[in-house]
Amino acid sequence: MTHLDNISRKAQMDDMRSFDEQMPSVGIFWYDPEEHTLFGVRKKELTPREVEDAAEKGKPFINYPHLHRQVWAKEYFRAQAKHYETKFKGDYTQIPRGRVAWTIDKFIVLVGHWAEPIQDELTELIEEAFALPYFEFVYDEHWDLGHGWSGDMPTSR
């Protein structure tokens, strides 16, 4: 049996990582319209086996397990405690946001109508951040600015 020294092992692992492709993911994000970037991206890789298991169990929808408001609150309080500057302040529903999910045979991106004028730009950002080979936008009022789950922060319109 051949043993590698630490330097050779690290070099071999680095080589192997270069061939490692990210699996497509489900998750959530916010969009910064000033910087034209996504932020607060949270994701979970989705494997073909998970898709097959869900189909076998009659579950046609695979979702990221956390809500925007949960992530927003956690990041807000972390920044407050550490005195960091943060984008996670104010009402999370006032910042463009979306969710990537899997349904039946495709990835979908749930967004509000805020995304329609920037669909091409957003497509590129989402494909890269979530390693998606293909997806469809699904527009819903829930994702429009100022909308959220009932009982969330009050909004003024």
Cα–Cα distance, 35 to 115 (Å, whole number): 15
- On whether the CB atoms of residues 87 and 39 are closer than 8 A, the answer is yes
Taking residues 91-102, report their average pLDDT: 96
Considering the entire predicted model, what is its pTM? 0.81
DSSP 8-state symbol, 20: P
Q: What is the pLDDT of residues 108-142, one digit of tens each?
A: 999 999 999 999 999 999 999 999 999 999 999 99
